[in-house]
Structure 1
């Protein structure tokens, strides 16, 4: 079961749960994209990438709220792993 889902239900109720999860998933997905996959792109392509990310997160939020899948927890694990990878890569390049 999703711990974040239960926490948000207890804290905020069911009124705006979809939009709360949408914002959480969007922020975490953008951070994961930036840590692991982002390259230097022109501004127009960057806008297109983030618009497509916003659309994909909308679909991901449906899984997160309706089907109660632990997408927020998975995104947190992804961010931790990519953060460790980037830190080690930075340390190796410094040497």
Structure 2
């Protein structure tokens, strides 16, 4: 929850484009910008038998922008920044 709140606080733009809901999940497609880095993403919330959130998975794309965006958040969340590695490295 802390990570999601931090993203919302630091976002220059967070636009939800579509939300899909079912009996066992909620999914939201969004565009997120922090500083000059932009990603498209999906939040997927899996619900338990009581309808409470049991698990949240978040995807960002494209990968180079996702790595850059995580770098903007890493120090705030106490994480190590990701490093993008390619076959040439």
Write 1 or 2 for the structure with the bigger share of strand: 2
- The structure whose RCO (Cα within 8 Å, separation 6+) is larger is 1
Q: TM-score, normalised by structure 1?
A: 0.22
- Relative to its length, the structure with more helix (as a share) is 1
When Rg is computed on C-alpha atoms for both structures, the one with the higher figure is 1
